[in-house]
Amino acid sequence: MQFATTTSPHVHLGNSVGRVMRRVVYALLPGLLALVWIFGPGVLVQAAIAVSTALAAEALMLTLRGKPLGRFLGDCSALVTALLLAIALPPLAPWWITVLGTGFAIIIAKHLYGGLGYNPFNPAMIGYVVLLTSFPREMSSWAAPLTLHGSTPDLATTLALVFGERSAETLDAVTSATVLDLLRTQIGLGHSVTEVRSSPVFGLLGARGWEWVNLAFLAGGLWMCRQRTAAWQIPAGMLGALAVISTLFWLVDAARFAPPWFHLFSGAAIFGAFFIATDPVSASTTPRGRLIYGAGIGVLTWVIRSVGGFPDGVAFAVLLMNIAAPTIDQYTRPRVFGARA
Amino acid sequence: MSVLNTITRLWRFHGGLHVPEHKAESNSAAIEALPLPAQLVLPLQQHIGAAARACVRVGERVHKGDALARADGYISAALHAPTSGTVVAIEPRPVAHPSGIPVLSVVLESDGRDEWGPNSLPTPIEDYLRLDPAYLRERVREAGIVGLGGAAFPTAVKLNAEGAIRVLVLNAAECEPYITCDDRLMRERAHAVIGGLLLMRRALGVKDCIIGIEDNKPEAAAALQAALEQFADDAEDVLLQQIPTLYPSGSEQQLIRVLTGVEIGRSRRPVDSGILCQNVATAAAVHDAVTEGRPLISRVVTVTGSGISTPRNLEVLIGTPLSALIEYCGGYTPRAARLIIGGPMMGLALPGDDLPITKGMNCVLVAGADDVSAPEESMPCIRCGECMNACPANLLPQQMYWHARAREFDKAQQVNLFDCIECGCCAAVCPSHLPLVQYYRFAKTEIWAAEREKKKAEQARARHEFHLYRLEREEAEKAARLQAKKSAAQQRGHEAETPAADPKQAAIAAALARAQAKKAAAKAEATAGESSNELSPEQLEKLAAARARAEAKRLAATQTAGEAANDATAALSPEQLEKLAAARARAEAKKAASAPAQANADAAPALSPEQLEKLAAARARAEAKKAASAPAQANADAAPALSPEQLEKLAAARARAEAKKAASAPAQANADAAPALTPEQLEKLAAARARAEAKKAASAPAQANADAAPALSPEQIEKLTAARVRTEAKKAAQEALAAATAAVAALDADAQEEAPTASPAAEATPAPLTEEQLARLAAARARAEAKKAAQSGKPASSDQEQ
């Protein structure tokens, strides 16, 4: 009898890229539901647009690059990119924004760099930043949270806003500025943090409504770390550094700088820490390196939020640290077994 | 205090995996003896080290337990007839090895009687725990026992680490999935296992033993505990330690880490940390060899997997074909998809079952298609780091992969490729299904191959260059002879007319001298380069001596040329003079380099006293020539007329030269090992001693060497080295003297001949020479000392060598 001679190991524990990516999707579900509950079905509409665009773009690029479609579409990596971008976009953003951002993310930020595993930057964040810098007006009008208006736009309104004509009146009725936006403009006008925080858009911890979304993302993220789908060092480093630096400055001047819990529970801090920064391809890979990488994102996020030109800084912070990841890896190699310390 | 008392907890190693164990398939099947097969194939190489040498002839009848092959070398193992029968062939046969290269094997046809010979079985020993350790080791060696855990390293060699070991670890982990042979052995023959452990402990002179067993084998652990109690006081200081089941805790490095906290990396062997690791089956084999006189002729093999009808644990004679095991276990099931020797993590997949069982095989795994991973299309690496989390060596497998894939082998080595133990954890967890271990093996073999290629290329290059040098040199020598004749003839013709010879002629002569010096040096180099690759040390040393002689001759030749030039010196331009001086300096430097080789030649153990004497004489002649020529040479340099300032400078230079000479003397004294003297005393002493030694040194060391040649003790070597250093120092002193004389002569010459042109070379000449000599002295001493250190270090370290 003749047998196949493959090399050891002969067993595999069954992990796959698809499984890793699907776990990320599962971990996103609580946050996604919270977003729907607080902001209406907009995010689902955006997700649908993004996912279809991403799969189409992925299929196109795979065909052009002569890669097997089934195997690579089945890895769900495009799905994850699309969902992450859809969550980051304003729920009522016009459809072409989403299509443009997703297409850019998949075609340019991912495949032109070599496809899965080769992209130096987080594709979703590249797409987001391209949109943010190109269309700041569309990108800054967020749907108002449920708790502010007492209701969220229904599906028909959402679809009309996303796909149809966008009049200023209808838009104003359902959107509001984000807290980070408000905070930076008001402080720019000379108001103190305490004054600004008395605005109704602020909640107990961060922005009204966002607190729940962030808690849901936190739950999903913790589960993902527990599953070892995401490296715990990155969110720990990022949130830890963000907390430390914001506490320091808040203690120094509470009138000018927002308190740490505000930073942690506003904007994309938690979502970014668990879902964006942990993208393995573009992040640091060594244990110590991941802590440093996360901490770098945390510090940069605070710096951009507090003194930079954009309301939130997670996307930029992640991209900046993507650049540093190979260098961090180089200098944080773990001690090899048996080597002297 | 016993080391065991300090073990208060278990340690962790990084990574590791919980792989589905699959032990239940076979761990309830008691060990059965496989029926005697008709034919046995016994490869001479089934262990680490040199292949055994067959000591039977084709057609010879052997009894069970008779030696078929003897250990050939220190790291090797004997081979015995597993049953009685006739040797029908000694020929290359395929074995279970990834290379697939057939190995010379003894083919034994069984006569079915399975009888022990009258001489094949040493007398059983009852009270075996009181045996002499040396006798124990001898008996283990004769029994051909190798590590039965899989590595098959000769056990006797490991047991020779007597005195260096503090803790003996018995590896009962059996961490690979499916394998249960050690488990069954411990359950059924716990007494033999513990007995073997105690024997090895005695052979090593160790007190403390730790048995490490994974906690998925409670029955085996209980059996061992019971056996330990049976041995009572004899088994004191043996600690039975259950460890968590985690692959690869049965790997030697990881097991030692778990039990003792000590990390043994690639650069250190366990022995260097005072820890020795032996497998349980090896222990039982040692027990059998000592108490029954039974050589290693069989072992327990697990036959398991969903591809086999009835998984079993079998006592199998070494050399039994795999097919006999398969047949006894009911044959293959329809699911059988892969035949693996060893476990699923590190085992070797075989194409078929027509291969013999060897000493290192612990398991025959016939895996079903769904038990093993299909060779799946892999995805790109997503840098998730799962491999890093799983790596028990704490490596960065994905970085090793990237570099191996890009064929950047130097970078792969930088990320510690060679620390990889190929346990397979990384590949087993890789979400992209990358064949990581295969990449590492590829990179390792590429690096090894590149190193071999490099060596070969260097040899070829050296040979080629030497060839070119020789052709060039022969032509140049011819031309030089011609020129020397011509210029001499011309010289005679011009003598009466004018002292200033044709400047062109002089320039040519000088150029020739330089060319010759270069070629001679190159030749010496090439000779060394070529010979060092293929020659034995003795030959090398002879060569070095020959080279030294050639150098001396060459120097004389240069001298002749130089003299020719000297006759024409009046007309030499300062630049030419400078060049000449430089050429000479280079030649001197070369000579200095060859000098130690000459010194080493003294110590050559293979030289006869007569040869040594001849050598010494040759050296003396060479030096005499050199000394004779030096002043003349210096004259040549200094010949062109000097300005008063230059004269002053020269005087200063001479003063420096003398100071240098004086300075070199204490160095010589140091070589004689007089550490407590003041510099003044040293100087005086050195002067006196230098004179005395100049006489005796040339012959004495050679004589001493010749006498001491066969077996030098460290003290003798030290003395010898001292003598050599003295010789060196003396030579240097002579040279210094010669140079100083040269400087004086030069000055005299200058004083007589006043000339208008300045020559920077003249000033440079004396000082650099002496300095060079000083440097040479220092270098010679350093080399001699290094040599001494190496020699005295060697005997000590070779004791530790396994």
Interchain contact, A336 vs B394, CB within 8 Å:
yes
Mark which of B333, B368, B403 sits at the end of a domain. B368
Residue type, B376: E
Interchain contact, A20 vs B388, CB within 8 Å:
no
- Residue A144 and residue A45 in one domain: yes
The pLDDT value given to residue B687:
53
- Residue B487 and residue B353 in one domain: no
Residue B70, SS3? strand
The pLDDT value given to residue B780:
54
Q: For B319-326, what is the mean pLDDT? A: 95
Domain of residue B741 covers: 534-566+573-672+701-801
Residue B351 and residue A3 in contact, taking contact as beta carbons nearer than 8 Å:
yes
Interchain contact, A17 vs B422, CB within 8 Å:
no
Q: Which of A3-7, A50-54, B161-165, B291-295 has the lowest mean pLDDT?
A: B161-165
Residue B382's closest chain A neighbor by CA? A117
Q: For B537-555, what is the mean pLDDT? A: 61
Q: Residues of A262-280 as b/e, b for ≥16 C-beta within 10 angstroms?
A: bbbbbbbbbbbbbbbbbbb
pLDDT of B708 > 70? The answer is: no
The two tokens of residue B661 are 């000479």
Q: What are phi and psi of B697, to 5 degrees?
A: -60, -40
Task: Give the minimum alpha-carbon distance from A257 to chain B in angstroms, rounded to a whole number.
Answer: 36
- Residue A149 and residue A284 in one domain: no
- Residue A158 and residue A293 in one domain: no
Per-residue confidence at B549, pLDDT binned at 50, 70, 90? low
CA distance A47 to A85: 8
User: Does the beta carbon of B367 lie under 8 angstroms from any beta carbon of chain A?
Assistant: yes
- Residue B624 and residue B765 in one domain: yes
- Residue B16 and residue B68 in one domain: yes
pLDDT of B719 > 70? The answer is: no
CA dist B624 → B338, B585, B590, B699, B765 (Å): 78, 19, 18, 15, 21
- Residue A29 and residue A93 in one domain: yes
pLDDT (tens digit per residue) in A59-111:
999 999 999 888 888 899 999 999 999 999 988 889 999 999 999 999 999 99
Residue A212: inside a domain, yes or no?
Answer: yes
- Residue B58 and residue B119 in one domain: yes
- Residue B411 and residue B546 in one domain: no
Percent of chain B past pLDDT 90, that is, above it, reads 43
DSSP assigned state of A108? I
Instruction: Scan residues 149-208 of B and list those with Cβ closer than 8 Å to A.
Output: 177
Q: Which of A142-156, A272-286, B157-171, B465-479 has the lowest mean pLDDT?
A: A142-156
- Residue B57 and residue B99 in one domain: yes
B175 is in an annotated binding site: no
Q: For B64-76, what is the mean pLDDT? A: 90
pLDDT of A54 > 80? The answer is: yes
Q: CA torsion, points A42, A43, A45, A50, in degrees to nearest 10?
A: 140
Among A194-208, A248-262, B298-312, top mean pLDDT goes to: B298-312
Per-residue confidence at B542, pLDDT binned at 50, 70, 90? low
Interchain contact, A8 vs B416, CB within 8 Å:
no
Per-residue confidence at B558, pLDDT binned at 50, 70, 90? low
- Residue A62 and residue A166 in one domain: yes
Residue A90: inside a domain, yes or no?
Answer: yes
User: Does the beta carbon of A9 lie under 8 angstroms from any beta carbon of chain B?
Assistant: yes
- Residue B462 and residue B589 in one domain: no
pLDDT (tens digit per residue) in B28-55:
999 999 999 999 999 999 998 899 999 9
CA distance B677 to B685: 9
Interchain contact, B427 vs A12, CB within 8 Å:
yes
CA distance A280 to A277: 8
The two tokens of residue B623 are 């030096």
Residues of B in contact with A68 (CB under 8 A): 377
Residue B487 and residue B568 in contact, taking contact as beta carbons nearer than 8 Å:
yes
CA distance B72 to B757: 76
Q: Is the torsion defined by CA of A176, A179, A180, A182 positive or negative? A: positive
Q: For B546-557, what is the mean pLDDT? A: 62
Q: Which of A264-273, B505-514, B788-797 has the lowest mean pLDDT?
A: B788-797
Averaged pLDDT of chain A: 87
pLDDT of B272 > 90? The answer is: no
DSSP string across B736-760: HHHHHHHHHHHHHHHHH-B-SS--H
The pLDDT value given to residue B531:
42
Mark which of B492, B515, B546 sits at the end of a domain. B492
Residue A184: inside a domain, yes or no?
Answer: no
Mark which of B321, B338, B368 sits at the end of a domain. B368
Per-residue confidence at A256, pLDDT binned at 50, 70, 90? confident
Total structural domains in chain B? 3
- Residue A158 and residue A23 in one domain: yes
pLDDT of B288 > 80? The answer is: yes
H/E element holding B630?
helix B609-638
Among A140-144, B4-8, B191-195, top mean pLDDT goes to: B191-195
Q: Which residues pair with B338 in a beta bridge?
A: B367
pLDDT of B344 > 80? The answer is: yes
Q: For B700-728, what is the mean pLDDT? A: 45
Give the contacts of B346 (CB within 8 A, at least 6 positions apart): A8, A9, B150, B176, B422, B423, B424
Residue B684: inside a domain, yes or no?
Answer: no
Residue B366's closest chain A neighbor by CA? A3
Instruction: Scan residues 234-253 of B and list those with Cβ closer than 8 Å to A.
Output: 253
DSSP string across B409-428: HHHHHHTTGGG-----HHHH
User: Does the beta carbon of B644 lie under 8 angstroms from any beta carbon of chain A?
Assistant: no
Residue A156: inside a domain, yes or no?
Answer: yes
More confident residue, A208 or A11: A11
Averaged pLDDT of chain B: 75
The pLDDT value given to residue B669:
37
Residue B245: inside a domain, yes or no?
Answer: yes
The pLDDT value given to residue B482:
92
User: Does the beta carbon of B372 lie under 8 angstroms from any beta carbon of chain A?
Assistant: yes
Q: For A210-237, what is the mean pLDDT? A: 93
More confident residue, B138 or B640: B138
CA dist B632 → B564, B654, B755 (Å): 11, 16, 19
DSSP assigned state of A118? T
- Residue A155 and residue A224 in one domain: no
Residue A182: inside a domain, yes or no?
Answer: no
Other beta carbons within 10 angstroms of residue B515's beta carbon come to 18
pTM (2 d.p.) = 0.68
- Residue A167 and residue A33 in one domain: yes
Interchain contact, B346 vs A338, CB within 8 Å:
no
Mark which of A134, A155, A176 sits at the end of a domain. A176
The pLDDT value given to residue B433:
92
Residues of A in contact with B393 (CB under 8 A): 336-338
* Closest to B143 measured CA to CA, from B222, B35, B71, B195: B71
Residue type, B170: L
Per-residue confidence at B120, pLDDT binned at 50, 70, 90? low
Q: B369: buried, middle or exposed (CB in 10 Å: 19+, 13-18, 0-12)?
A: middle
Percent of chain B past pLDDT 70, that is, above it, reads 60
Query: Could you give the angle at the alpha carbon of B11 between the alpha carbons of B6 and B15, nearest 5°?
Result: 165
The pLDDT value given to residue B570:
43
Q: What are phi and psi of B301, to 5 degrees?
A: -130, 130
pLDDT (tens digit per residue) in A280-311:
999 999 999 999 999 999 999 999 988 877 77
Q: For A144-153, what is the mean pLDDT? A: 67
Residue B80: inside a domain, yes or no?
Answer: yes
CA distance B482 to B491: 14
DSSP string across B665-681: HHHHHHHTT-TT--HHH
Q: For B718-744, what is the mean pLDDT? A: 54
DSSP string across A20-32: HHHHHHHHHHHHH
Among A57-66, A195-204, B482-491, B578-587, top mean pLDDT goes to: A57-66
Q: Is the torsion defined by CA of B785, B790, B791, B796 positive or negative? A: positive
Q: Which of A197-211, B248-262, B378-392, B695-709 has the lowest mean pLDDT?
A: B695-709
The pLDDT value given to residue A183:
72
Q: B468: buried, middle or exposed (CB in 10 Å: 19+, 13-18, 0-12)?
A: exposed
Residue B82, SS3? coil
Residue type, B766: P
Residues of B in contact with A339 (CB under 8 A): 265, 267, 416, 419
- Residue A255 and residue A160 in one domain: no
The pLDDT value given to residue A49:
95
Which residue in the set B383, B394, B416 is minimally distant from A285, CB to CB? B383
Domain of residue A52 covers: 18-176
Total structural domains in chain A? 2
- Residue B405 and residue B438 in one domain: yes
Residue B717: inside a domain, yes or no?
Answer: yes
Residue A172: inside a domain, yes or no?
Answer: yes
Residue B376: inside a domain, yes or no?
Answer: no
- Residue B323 and residue B410 in one domain: no
Residue B755: inside a domain, yes or no?
Answer: yes
Residue B430's closest chain A neighbor by CA? A15
Q: For B322-339, what is the mean pLDDT? A: 94
Domain containing residue B145: CATH number = 3.40.50.11540
The two tokens of residue B391 are 């790596």
The two tokens of residue B528 are 């060394």
Which residue in the set A5, A8, A339 is minimally distant from B350, CB to CB? A5
Per-residue confidence at B566, pLDDT binned at 50, 70, 90? very low
Strand B103-110 vs strand B85-93: parallel, antiparallel, or unpaired?
A: antiparallel
DSSP string across B13-42: -S--B------TTTTTSPEEEPPPPSEEEE
pLDDT (tens digit per residue) in B666-698:
444 343 333 444 455 555 555 555 455 544 443
Q: Which of A44-53, A128-137, A156-165, B239-248 has the lowest mean pLDDT?
A: A156-165
More confident residue, B765 or B124: B124
More confident residue, B506 or B599: B506
The pLDDT value given to residue B625:
57
Task: Give the minimum alpha-carbon distance from B765 to chain A in angstroms, rounded to a whole number.
Answer: 52
pLDDT of B173 > 60? The answer is: yes
- Residue A228 and residue A289 in one domain: yes
The two tokens of residue B330 are 């009911």
More confident residue, B724 or A68: A68
Counting every residue, how long is chain A? 341
pLDDT (tens digit per residue) in B577-600:
566 555 665 655 555 545 444 434
Helix (H), strand (E) counts: chain B: 23, 17
Residue for token digits 């330990």?
Answer: B228
- Residue A165 and residue A228 in one domain: no
- Residue A308 and residue A258 in one domain: yes
Residue A223: inside a domain, yes or no?
Answer: yes
The pLDDT value given to residue B661:
54
Residue B685: inside a domain, yes or no?
Answer: no
Other beta carbons within 10 angstroms of residue B380's beta carbon come to 17
pLDDT of B318 > 60? The answer is: yes
Interchain contact, B424 vs A1, CB within 8 Å:
no
Per-residue confidence at A192, pLDDT binned at 50, 70, 90? confident
User: Does the beta carbon of A281 lie under 8 angstroms from any beta carbon of chain B?
Assistant: yes
Residue type, B663: A
Per-residue confidence at A3, pLDDT binned at 50, 70, 90? confident
Interchain contact, B415 vs A333, CB within 8 Å:
yes
Strand B79-80 vs strand B61-62: parallel, antiparallel, or unpaired?
A: unpaired
B381 is in an annotated binding site: yes
Residue A162: inside a domain, yes or no?
Answer: yes
The pLDDT value given to residue B723:
53
Which residue in the set B338, B393, B429 is minimally distant from A15, CB to CB? B429
More confident residue, B680 or B703: B680
B55 is in an annotated binding site: no
CA distance B336 to B374: 13
Q: For B145-173, what is the mean pLDDT? A: 88
The pLDDT value given to residue B650:
57
CA distance B736 to B590: 17
Residue B172 and residue B219 in contact, taking contact as beta carbons nearer than 8 Å:
no
Residue B738: inside a domain, yes or no?
Answer: yes
The pLDDT value given to residue A296:
96
Residues of A in contact with B325 (CB under 8 A): none
More confident residue, B604 or A233: A233
The pLDDT value given to residue A5:
84
The pLDDT value given to residue B404:
93
H/E element holding B330?
none
Query: Could you give the angle at the alpha carbon of B271 between the alpha carbons of B266 and B274, nearest 5°?
Result: 120
More confident residue, A172 or A287: A287
